[in-house]
Amino acid sequence: MEIHQKPIVKPPRLAPGDTIGIVAPASPFSQERFNKGVAVLQSMGFRVFFDDDLFIKQGYLAGTDAQRADFINRLFADQEIKAIVCARGGFGAMRILSLLDYEAIKKHPKIFVGYSDISALLSVLDTRCGLVAFHGPMVTTLADAGQETKEAMLAALTSDVKLELAPANGRVIEPGRASGPIAGGNLTTLCHLVGTPYAPSYRGKIVFFEDKGEAAYRIDRMLSQMKLAGCFEGLVGLVLGSFEDCGEFDKICRITSEMFKDAGIPVLAGFDIGHGRTNITIPLGIKATLDADRQRLIYHEPATV
C-alpha cells in the first residue's frame, strides 16, 4: 500500500550562521571523532547545538529508546534549530520509530541527515511525513571526510541548484532511462523493515542501495527476501552505491543483474554513496531521472526551499 504523503515537504535550506542540532538515534560513538566532526560543521559556517546527554551509553545504544527519540522530537520542535545531523549509525534507529512525534515533525520541517542504520529514519520521514530527507555524512564520519564529501554535503543543504550526479566508477547493469522519486539507503536496514508498519512502498520509485561488511551471499539473501515479499513490484529504476568490505564488486553486480534482469528497469552501479571514504549527499523523496546509458542521476528540482 502506498502511504507516501502528498505534497512533498521540502525543508528550508541552510544559510551561514544557522544552527545545526546533533542527535544520536543509534549507537554510541567516539567523542574525539565527534569533536572533529563538529569542527568540520563549524568550519562550514554553522553553529552547532547538542545536549550533554548525547554521550550517554547504554550497552550498544546511545541511551534509552525514549531518550534517543526525545532528542529528535525536541530538536524538530525547536525553532532555533535549522537542521539535524546524526552523530553515528550502528544500530538502534528502528527501535525508536514508534516513539517519534510525526505530527510535530510535519509542522516543523527541517533538514535531517544521516545514513547506514539511520536509513530507517530517513525512510519514515519520507513515508510518514512527506519530508525530503538527506542520505549523507554523519558527524563522526565528517571527522576524516574528504573534500568531495564535504563540498557535496554543503551544496545539497545550502544550494537552490538541481543536483546531477555521475558515478565515480559507473557500471551499467541494465540500460535504459526512468523517472520517479528517489528512495532507499542501507540495504540491511531497509530489509529489516519488511513486514513492519514502517516498510516503504517502492512502487513508481528509483531506489538506491548501499552496504558495508555483508558477504555476497547475504546481499543475495536480502535482495531475494525483498523480491519475494513484493518490495520491488512497480520499481522503475535501481542505483547501487558503495558496498564496502562486501567482497568483489563484480560479484555484487552479477547478483543484482540476476535479480533484476527481467524487471525491464535501468540499473546503474558505482556511485560514491554510503560507507566509502567519499559519501555524496543525496536527497530522498523528490523526483529524478536515472539515465543508465549516460550514467547520470538528474534531479528535477532543488531539495530545499
CA distance linking residue 190 with residue 210, whole number of Å: 10
How high does pLDDT run on average in the chain? 96
Q: What are phi and psi of 184, to 5 degrees?
A: 125, -160
Calculate mean pLDDT across residues 272-296: 97
224/250 same-domain check: yes
C-alpha cell read off for 274: 554510503
* pLDDT tier at 6, thresholds 50, 70, 90: low
If one counts the domains in the chain, the total is: 2
Q: What is the mean pLDDT of residues 43-67?
A: 97
212: number of Cβ within 10 Å: 17
Q: Do residues 75 and 95 both lie within one domain?
A: yes
Same domain? For 172 and 90 the reply is no
Q: Which of 136, 158, 180 is the last residue of a domain?
A: 158
CATH number, residue 54: 3.40.50.10740
- All three cell numbers of 198, joined, read 514502517
Asked if residues 105 and 131 have their Cβ atoms less than 8 Å apart, the reply is yes
Query: Does one domain contain both 180 and 292?
Result: yes
- 260-279 burial code (b ≥16 CB/10 A, e <16): beebebbbbbbbbbbbbebb
| 238, three cell numbers | 535501481
66, part of any domain: yes
Residue type (1 letter), 34: F
* pLDDT over 90 percentage in the chain: 97
**pLDDT of 192 strictly over 70:** yes
What b/e readout covers 105-116, taking b as 16+ CB neighbours within 10 angstroms? bbebbbbbbbbb
For residue 240, what is its C-alpha cell? 547501487
Give a yes or no: residue 96 inside a domain. Answer: yes
Select from 158, 184, 211 the last residue of a domain: 158
Q: Of 158, 184, 204, at which residue does a domain stop? A: 158
Q: Is residue 116 part of a domain?
A: yes
In a domain, 7, yes or no: no
We report the CATH number of the domain holding residue 214 as 3.50.30.60
What pLDDT sits at residue 7? Answer: 81
Question: 278 and 228: one domain?
Answer: yes
Question: Is-contact 59 90, C-beta < 8 A?
Answer: no
Instruction: State pTM to two decimals.
Output: 0.97
Hunting for cell 546503474 — which residue is that?
Answer: 268
Active site residues: 116, 210, 275
Q: Residue 210, SS3?
A: strand
pLDDT at 218 over 90: yes
Cβ atoms 221, 190 nearer than 8 A: no
Q: For 145-163, what is the mean pLDDT?
A: 97
pLDDT band at 207 (very low <50, low <70, confident <90, very high): very high
Task: Identify whether residues 174 and 280 lie together within a single domain.
Answer: yes
Domain residues for the domain of 248 are 164-299
Name the packing angle between helices 249-260 and 216-228 (round to 10°): 20
Same domain, 152 and 169: no
- Are 108 and 62 within one domain? yes
- How many C-beta atoms surround the C-beta of residue 230 within 10 A? 12
Question: Mean pLDDT over residues 1-30, rounded?
Answer: 86
Same structural domain, 131 and 172: no
Residues 6+ positions from 115 with CB-CB distance below 8 Å: 89, 122, 135, 136, 137, 138, 185, 186, 210, 274, 275, 279
pLDDT for 2 beyond 50 = no
Share of the chain above pLDDT 70, in %: 98
C-alpha count within 13 angstroms, C-beta hemisphere, residue 50: 22
> Per-residue pLDDT averaged across 28-49, rounded?
98
- Looking at the fold, whether 71 and 154 belong to one and the same domain comes out as yes
The string of pLDDT tens digits covering residues 164-189 is 999 999 999 999 999 999 999 999 99
